[in-house]
Amino acid sequence: MRSLKAAAFSTAVLLAATACGGGGSEGGASEAPDSLTVWVMGTAQDPVKKYFDTVEKRYQQDYPDTSVEVEFVPWADAQQSINNALAGGDAPDVLEVGNDQVANWASQGAIMDISSRTDEWGAVSDMDQAAVEYGAYDGSQYAIPWFAGVRTLYYRADWLKDLGMDPPQTWEELVEVATAIEEEQDVPGFAAPTDFTNGIASFIWSNGGEIAVQQQGEWQGELTSPETQEAIEFYAGLTSEENISPQAYVGENELVPLADMANSEVGMYIDGGWALTSMEEQAEDPAVLEEIKAAPIPGADGPAPAFAGGSALTLFATAEHPDAAWDLLTVMGDKKGGKAYADAAGYFPAYPEMLDDESYQSDPLKAASAEQMKNTQFFPATPNWNAADQDGKILPGAVLDIVKGEDADKVLEEANKELTETLNKPVA
């Protein structure tokens, strides 16, 4: 059995996994390996371990003699762990990667071109096609979507009920509702942190803008387009002009208003379903949590798109038994396996037809997220996106400068130039 000894792994769970997908292995059980290794990002939570117990029963129907070692890799250690594997260290067969990291790892040769396999797997046609395209790089498919999560607008339902108002669906309504909350409750009506690319992007997309587009093989920043600039200035103006978001969120990310939301210190803010656990931990009065509800993110003229953050499944470039590994991937990512993992991890499956499932629609918070999942977009699919956003903070930095009073035209012109140059840097 393959053994993984990388120190980055905080938890390792050995599971005799078994399952067969619809991938169509060429070799079949007669050429099955003794073991396969799967890298899953995050920690070994009980629902996820139970998920792999189910995968086990399915996979061994065709691979009865193959065991699977599942290693849980903390997200913070993922890059170093994959780099170590690339350098010749212990490596997985199947692995989970962030959906915004596919282009990065494909460009470095860490993951396998699975185009011929996905072309023959019928389940792919039922997946969110935009998410499928996000798993491609340089004309080839390198990963398929596994699950996704979106941000929504959290709001105090009891406060809005007292005001006789519904959750805002447009920018105009957002300002109106936030102003009413502040007048009635004496707390900020809305949180607009500046270090929040995911939230800012929704405002841009809802106004018909883009962050960057690809033209004839080159990336072109779009921060100075009329639609994008209007959205950025509106978002910045929620703090500097409309004054519905306080200065306390300038330079901050969504973690600061999360704590405030849990303790009745802000009326509305944008975050993902994963924030609920943190709210439970930070709420001084647990009863408050019962009044926190969710709705799709308000946009320029109606609900805004949201970035569908999540993960993709792929094969490591050095997988010794790619056919068997692919069959395991299909078990994890087909409709049964995909929904089961999404439910275990608290996300949504990659199949749009499942978003109307009763298990989601019966829970108001999940229903809002499921509805938002029907309206999603993605960041530029380039290995350089992280350099532009996480490292360079080009978009949030521009918003921060505008909030501080710098000239928006000049700020966005300089930011757009930097964005274009960064996205077009040669991939090593």
**What structural domains does the chain harbor?**
11-149+309-350 (3.40.190.10), 151-306+381-423 (3.40.190.10)
Mean pLDDT across the chain: 91
What integer is the mean pLDDT of 399-427? 97
CA distance 75 to 81: 10
**Where does residue 7 rank: exposed (0-12), middle (13-18), buried (19+ CB within 10 A)?**
exposed
H helices present in 67-146, as ranges: 78-86, 102-107, 115-120, 129-134
Exposure class string for 91-117: b at 16+ Cβ within 10 A, else e = bbbbbbbbbbbbbbbbbeebbbbbeeb
Q: Based on the number of CB atoms within 10 Å of its own CB, is 410 exposed (0-12), middle (13-18) or buried (19 or more)?
A: exposed
The answer, yes or no, to whether residue 406 has pLDDT greater than 70, is yes
> In this predicted model, what pLDDT tens digit does every residue of 174-217 receive, in sequence order?
999 999 999 999 999 999 999 999 999 999 999 999 999 999 98
pLDDT, tens digit, 9 for 90 and up, residues 315-334 = 999 999 999 999 999 999 99
> Averaged over 113-133, what is the pLDDT?
97
The share of the chain scoring above pLDDT 90, in percent, equals 85
Give the range among 66-70, 203-207, 239-243, 256-260 with minimum mean pLDDT: 66-70
Q: Is residue 22 scored above 90 in pLDDT?
A: no
CB 229 within 8 A of CB 421: no
Asked if 254 contacts 268 with a C-beta cutoff of 8 angstroms, the reply is: no
Q: Which amino acid is at 343?
A: D
pLDDT on residue 19: 34
Angle, CA of 416, 418 and 421, to the nearest 5°: 110
Asked if the model's pLDDT at residue 14 lies above 70, the reply is: no
pLDDT digits (tens, 9 = 90+) for 131-186: 999 999 999 999 999 999 999 999 999 999 999 999 999 999 999 999 999 999 99
CB atoms within 10 A of CB 268: 28
Tokens of 159: 């406060």
Whole-prediction pTM: 0.86
**pLDDT above 90 for 4:** no
pLDDT at 346: 87
Q: What is the per-residue pLDDT for 3?
A: 33
Q: How far apart are the C-alpha atoms of 344 and 327, rounded to whole Å?
A: 21
Find out whether 149 and 160 touch, Cβ atoms under 8 Å: no
Q: Is the pLDDT of residue 11 over 50?
A: no
Q: Residue 60 — pLDDT band, cuts 50, 70, 90?
A: very high
Is residue 6 over pLDDT 50?
A: no
Q: How confident is the model at residue 27 (pLDDT cuts 50, 70, 90)?
A: very low
| Mean pLDDT, range 265-290, rounded to an integer | 94
Q: Average pLDDT for residues 238-259, to the nearest whole number?
A: 96
Task: Please enumerate, as own/partner, the contacts of 318-323 that have beta carbons within 8 Å and a separation of 24 or more.
Answer: 318/85, 318/91, 319/91, 319/92, 319/93, 319/94, 319/112, 320/33, 320/93, 321/27, 321/31, 321/32, 321/33, 321/36, 321/93, 322/93, 322/112, 323/23, 323/25, 323/26, 323/27, 323/31
Q: For helices 226-240 and 408-423, what crossing angle results, to 10°? A: 120
- 115 pLDDT tier (thresholds 50, 70, 90): very high
pLDDT in tens, 346-401: 899 999 999 999 989 998 889 999 999 999 999 999 999 999 999 999 999 999 99
Query: According to the model, what pLDDT value does residue 40 have?
Result: 96
